[in-house]
Structure 1
């Protein structure tokens, strides 16, 4: 039983890492958007297209149990074992944000319900760049008398 609990905990950790990594891209894509994301309905897939301020287009779609991201010619899976994914506008008091709700499949009886996540971003408000790592200070020599 302990083995199965440990295995379930490791799976939950890998789901969390995958979701946070995907959310990092999604939040940056929304923040760098030129306008509102657009839903494009297709015969096989519904696609969320995000026009970027720099002229690029980034798209997301659900393909079976995979969430895929497109930044050019190729659809790249960024999350596998997806139970559900929805991206929707989320009107706040002073800003219109977008919310992404995500649930990932769990096949373990020790995890129970799907692992769920929710992320928020605001179009047109770029995220601050990551701060540079602080460099250690170099001691300055004392002036000699």
Structure 2
């Protein structure tokens, strides 16, 4: 089993270094190392590896104000990170979005105290999370509460 896991991991590394599409290289190391069937006879191959999960593609915005009228900053986030990703830290942002199964209302990365200053920021996320539609909009009281709650997701 360990030899097959190493071979699967090595094959995934070769695919990645060959520059194949993100769809061909989306299997996580855990998924690649896990055989599809645990009951195999000696000399027989396990069934095909599980299909890669649907990708995530989000358009994220951060706008000063409670009623966004100012200049927005925007970033594209793909999970796994792909060529259309413009987010500065896509690996961390994807990990955080995955940690709440795409429900951005559940993010609470660094709970702590922020000043009571009211300088609101409104954030939006739209697109798909693992093939499911995702739409999110929330106004945070200030930049500190935005950063503490969402971490790297809206840090651009």
Shared fold (TM-score, shorter chain, > 0.5): no
For the aligned pair, the TM-score class normalised by the smaller chain equals: under 0.3
Which structure is larger by alpha-carbon Rg, 1 or 2? 1
| TM-score of the aligned structures, taking structure 1 as reference length | 0.25
| TM-score of the aligned structures, taking structure 2 as reference length | 0.24
Question: Higher strand proportion, which one?
Answer: 1
